[in-house]
Amino acid sequence: MERLKIVILTGLSGSGKSTALAALEDAGFFCVDNLPVALLPKFLELQNQTVSEVTRFAFVMDLREKGFVSRFENVFKDLEEQGYAFEIIFLESDEDTLIRRYSETRRQHPLSKDKGLLEGIRLEKQVLEPVRNIAHRVVDSSNLNVHQLKAMIQEMGAHKNERKSIQISVLSFGFKYGIPRGADLVMDVRFLPNPYFVPELKNLTGLQAPVQEFVLEKPVTQEFLKKFMDLLDFLAPQYQKEGKAYLTVAVGCTGGKHRSVSVAGKVFEHLKGLFQNVSLSHRDIER
């Protein structure tokens, strides 16, 4: 049987299990939230009977399933005897942090229906103690923000010697059609000389050599590109370090056909030499 990587996320309500699951999904895991532990053997059996390239799975299991605590030990023991290996990650936070998070979200703690919030938190901690005792890793998220927690979980879920990678999208656009939704970094290059006003270049695009030469060979463009590339060289690794899975760099000019296309192409070539997953698209080039 092909060796699967299986991560079980469990722990206290409000400690960040949903954030951790999202982090593993971004890292390429097939993720299932609130899977009953009794169904895990059947799930893995079906997986082995199916031709699939998926070899990394993450499951959230917790007290939302009433039989979780009473069943988990026997289920995991039986599966280990069959040759499966698990990474059990138990997430927790201190009482003050959990109370604050529940106050901010206005969610109801699963064990506080007939009790107060604090009593529900303490009861859950007591009930889950046997699960915590067999966990391979215990993560205290009390002092971690969302990005730090995601980065930590992705590091735990990574293959050995696997390099964490951020997916970067470089996009050209025209301001006259609006700024792209979801853009993380927006650079306005309307200060560069405009080929639109050169008759022989007006009907061409930034994908063609005459326009590229007009835009990119100007001294002001050369100086700008050096400064902009330096900025990207600094920022992109910082975003990756914070656990950001996607980064969109949008370059805009007036119509999105000349200057932005030429500059976006150079940005793409530069980033492609530094990162594994870089794509280039031109939103408004056909308008």
Residue 10 CB contacts under 8 Å (≥ 6 apart), including other chains: 17, 60, 61, 62, 88, 89, 90, 91, 128, 131, 135
18 is in an annotated binding site: yes
What is the per-residue pLDDT across 214-235, written as a single tens digit (0 to 9) for each?
999 999 999 999 999 999 999 9
165 is in an annotated binding site: no
Residue 170 in this model has a pLDDT that exceeds 70: yes
Query: Do 7 and 85 touch, CB atoms closer than 8 A?
Result: no
Backbone angles phi, psi at 56, to 5 degrees: -125, 125
5 is in an annotated binding site: no
Q: In the chain, how many H helices and how many E strands?
A: 10, 9
242 is in an annotated binding site: no
65 is in an annotated binding site: yes
140 is in an annotated binding site: no
Q: Where are the alpha helices (DSSP H) in 27-67?
A: 40-49
Mean pLDDT for 44-68 is 84
Residue 275 in this model has a pLDDT that exceeds 90: no
pLDDT value for 165: 67
Mean pLDDT of the chain: 88
The structural domains of the chain, with segments of one domain joined by +, span: 5-157, 167-282
63 is in an annotated binding site: yes
Residue 163 in this model has a pLDDT that exceeds 70: no
Residue 68 CB contacts under 8 Å (≥ 6 apart), including other chains: 36, 37, 61, 62, 131
| Spatial CA neighbour of 12 closest among 106, 115, 101, 79 | 101
Distance CA 93, CA 141 (A): 5
Distance CA 40, CA 131 (A): 16
213 is in an annotated binding site: no
Topology of domain 5-157, per CATH?
A: Rossmann fold (3.40.50)
What is the per-residue pLDDT across 135-148, written as a single tens digit (0 to 9) for each?
988 998 888 888 88
132 is in an annotated binding site: no
Tell which phi-psi region holds residue 62, choosing left (phi > 0), alpha (psi between -120 and 50) or beta: beta
